[in-house]
Structure 1
Amino acid sequence: MNEIVSFKEVSFSKGDKVILQAINWSVHQNEHWGILGLNGSGKTSLLSIMSGFHFPSTGEVSVLGNLFGKTNLPELRKEIGFVSSSLERFAEYFNNETIERVVVSGKFASFGIYEQVKKEEWEKADSLLESLQLTYLKGKPYRLLSEGEKRKVIIARALMSEPKMLVLDEPCSGLDILSRERFLQSLDGIMKDECHIVYVSHHIEELVQGISHVLLLKDGKVIAAGPKEQVVSDELLSDTFGIPVHVHWKESRPWLEIRS
């Protein structure tokens, strides 16, 4: 499967409000994408469609080889991991659980465990905790973790079902600098496991080396889409953000300055 995501002339409206307009975008094998844009640019709606929670108003969408309108969307969603600060609204379901149980619940896409867990599923959870350098927290209740630790546990939970695509919606929101950098470092191993990442952020410095491509959105339209080094430019970002900016690079990672 060469094409992971395909949007062809996709538009999306709520009532009289047009949120996405004629979006043409594709994600191919071995590509990891960042999505940048101001609040209200259409990022959340794009993710909702891509993750199978909304149908486009017009146009054609295909995700992981599944053409919308001809596929079982609940089954498709099991192949897509989703990590967002919005999941904190379910924290009450996690707070008294150990981190191992939080991670294993991702196998069943449930908040809490209501099915028999097999030995190999516990072993899978242990392996994920090890890969994300969280083994020192085994046995601890979720509520006692730092924000950075919680975010990594939620990622492990999302990976429990071995998704083919991982959607990260502003995953560093609310993290301090140290927690953010540790989190970003943990993405390297995920990218090497043939899991395609779509990473949404307001901060271009979070587009680490492994993020190969970038999509820029403004007012529901695509400003640019392509290889990171080509798209993350002074001109295109100034247009996207509506303010003059300058980009400088360090180890394939962009950093932003506001021009006076």
Structure 2
Amino acid sequence: MESKILIDGTWAEFKNLNIWYEHKRVLNNINLKLRLGENTVLIGTNGSGKSTLIKTIARIKYPIVDKESFIKIFGKNHINIWELRTKIGFLFSEIDTRIKGNMLTKDIILSGYQGTFGVINRNLIGTKEKQNLEELMNSLNLIKVSKYYSQLSDGQKRRVLIARSIINNPLVLALDEPTNMLDLRSNYELLNNLSNLSKNGITLLYTTNNIENIIKETNRVIFLKEGEIILDGTPEKVITSENISNLYDFNIAVRNIGGYWRTSPA
């Protein structure tokens, strides 16, 4: 079954997905296929359901059980959490709150091997793992950062958490609002990191509420509004002034400047 999925390219499939939270429908009748090699962004306002969709893939949120609906990850209705972590890396903003400031930066990255947050069994860390760590830190410009996590800037912390998410060399990296709360420089640095990860073969799935955070390597844009998919297509087809204005219920002018999307009030 898995070889068929890889040939088809589908790594995640949702059919008639419905999720409720605190008596409110967060996702409504989601039908969707996500494919390897197809970088996809979920865009919408806060509360549109985009974060919930990624948390459903991570098995943090669970849908209403219905015989007419299903979720398949790499062709499986049920996937072991450890197997999931070897194929998909996840980055959620709340992960930062689970890390103590006195933790060592390198230990936090290495803890991705064991699914912990900085506390690692050093007996399981060999030469291969240490070499992978150094290569990751170099590629994400983390070699010269502080020894302790608490002394890092917000941008550096975010890159450390990305390194932790991909330490297992996953096929897919799923990120929820990866640029949230970053200053302008850190924002652009992180977007550049995501572009490089894509060029190195990692398929990206990420959320944003700002089209200016959509990287050039994005192949597919999905508009979510009030828990429903209202548009799905290539950036060139779906990112228009009319569509963005409808998504946010506000008149917005959209331009593409050198492959980057920019907005202004219409």
1:193 alignment partner in structure 2: 200
Counterpart secondary structure, 2:147:
coil
| 1:124 paired to 2:141 | no
- 1:64 has 2:74 as partner: yes
CA distance in 1, matches of 2:79, 2:115: 19
Task: Please report the TM-score for the alignment, with normalisation by the length of structure 2.
Answer: 0.90
C-alpha spacing 1:182/1:14, structure 2 compared with 1 (3 Å): closer
What are the Cα deviations for residues 30-58 of structure 1, in whole angstroms up to 9, with x where unaligned?
A: 10011111111111211111222233214
**Where does structure 1 differ by over 4 angstroms across 4 or more consecutive aligned residues?**
none
Task: Give the structure 2 partner of residue 175 of structure 1.
Answer: 182
The total of aligned residue pairs comes to 254
| Residue 73 of structure 1, CA deviation | 4.1
Partner amino acid for 2:157? Answer: K
Q: Where in structure 2 are there 5+ consecutive unaligned residues?
A: 1-5
RMSD: 1.6
Distance across 1 between alignment mates of 2:255 and 2:48? 24
Distance 1:115 1:109 in 2: 14
What code does the residue aligned with 1:126 have? E
Asked if the contact 1:52–1:77 (Cα under 8 Å) also holds between the matched residues in 2, the reply is: no
Q: Tell me, in whole angstroms, the C-alpha distance in 1 between the residues paired with 2:180 and 2:36.
A: 28
Q: CA deviation at 1:114?
A: 2.7
- Residues 80-89 or 30-39, more deviating: 80-89
Give the secondary-structure state (helix, strand or coil) at the position aligned to 2:99.
Answer: helix
1:1-260 equivalences in 2 (<5 Å): 1=6, 2-14=9-21, 16-57=23-64, 58=66, 59-66=69-76, 68=77, 70-92=78-100, 95-111=101-117, 112-116=119-123, 117-137=125-145, 140-259=147-266
Tell me the secondary structure at the aligned position of residue 191 of structure 2: helix
Residues 94-140 of structure 1 show CA distances to partners (whole Å, capped at 9, x for unaligned) of: x2232221111111111111341111111110000011121122x61
Unpaired stretches in structure 1, ≥5 consecutive residues: none
Q: In terms of mean alpha carbon deviation, does 49-58 or 142-151 score higher?
A: 49-58
CA contact (8 A) 2:73 2:79 kept: no
Aligned 8 A contact 1:78 1:109 in 2? no
| Equivalent residue letter for 1:232 | I
Partners in 2 of 1:114 and 1:211 — Cα distance? 37
Moved more, 184-193 or 214-223: 184-193
- Overall identity of the aligned pairs, in %: 28
* AA aligned opposite 1:106: G
Question: Helix, strand or coil for the counterpart of 1:155?
Answer: helix
Asked if the contact 2:42/2:224 (under 8 Å) is kept, the reply is yes
Find the aligned partners of 1:63 and 1:256 in 2 and give their Cα distance.
Answer: 35
CA distance in structure 2 between the partners assigned to 1:63 and 1:236 by the alignment: 30
TM-score by length of 1: 0.92
